[in-house]
Amino acid sequence: MILAAATNESLAQMSNTLIYSSMAVYTLAFFAHIAEWVLGSRSKVGRTAAALTQPTTAAAPAVTVRGKTAGGGTAVLDKPQVVTRSAAGARDVPDGPGAAGGTVKGDLYGRIAVSLTALAFLVEASGVVTRALSVQRAPWGNMYEFSTTFSTVAVGVYLGFLLFKKNVRWIGLPLVTTVLLDLGVATTWLYTDSDQLVPALHSYWLWIHVSTAIFCGAVLYLGAVATLLYLFRDAYENKLASGGEPGSFARSVLERLPAAATLDKFAYRVNAAIFPLWTFTIIAGAIWAGDAWGRYWGWDAKEVWSFITWVGYAAYLHARATAGWKGRKAAYIALIAFGCFLFNYYGVNIFVSSKHSYAGV
């Protein structure tokens, strides 16, 4: 028994070491992402801006062949990647060249950043698994464990998108920045020594309910990032279309992002895809509550805010299908819904006393 306790303690220490090591690698990835943005060429970006602001000639309609525009007097585009349309009658805008700016040097730093992110993910995942082995249970019994697992899953989902050849490398910098903040808060203020769970949590529903909640949160986070960037990019495109002159920072950053319609489409797809799983998460929690506390729903603070989050995303999906609410109005609803998720994640656990308050935090 003493040997087992010593082994568990050494595993817990190993887990802490791995989490701190992953933070060091994430920091290197952060600087690599910064280098990708800074060293990426702005030449192709400028040509994209010219294409958005220079009108065509009515007498000779423009025809685009292999990225070159003939006739009509439009600017010459250098192989635009994707042209998307957000709604009938909306403007057509090519996706930007990405953080690398279409240059070899920028792309090299981008690939280094992704490689370091993947390495940090493996190290952090090892830390989460080691934590689970040290307590011989699911590694999400308190806020520290939930936070480390959440950031691991968020990075895993991002890498999964890349693995399936999805153009989401633009998420890399905000993702790594957020992960570093999340792990910093977890290791500084939320850390809790590994220990066994209270009796109410000894259930197979811990694996089902909490794991789906973590996965849903990770995907909803990616959708929120895309939604926020959509708002900035859409305002930028509107300014160009109205003849405005954005500042140098906007040209350097926003023109490299995907078109507003592409960002909007990505956010909608991930939110719509994960919404049924979030619904299942709430149902699974209700079933678990029935087993643990003898009632399926008691309007506990965690239950209330989980339901409010569900209503928020349901309103967002409804707004997307309602004339007059597509675009920016729907995006605002999505961000409010994600804000409810964040309050449910941090605010309820830390500031509100409820039946879901275990292990201090």
Q: What are the tens digits of pLDDT across the range 105-128?
A: 899 999 999 999 999 999 999 999
| 213 vs 192: which has the higher pLDDT | 213
pTM of the model: 0.83
Q: Which of 354, 106, 140 is nearest to 252 (CA)?
A: 106
Q: Is the pLDDT of residue 87 over 60?
A: no
Compute CA distances 54 → 73, 93, 101, 243, 298, whole Å.
8, 13, 21, 9, 60
Helix or strand holding residue 31 (H, E):
helix 2-39
pLDDT by residue (tens digit) across 242-261? 888 888 888 888 999 999 99
**Cα 129 to Cα 127: distance, rounded to the nearest angstrom:** 5
On the question of pLDDT at 97 being above 60, the answer is yes
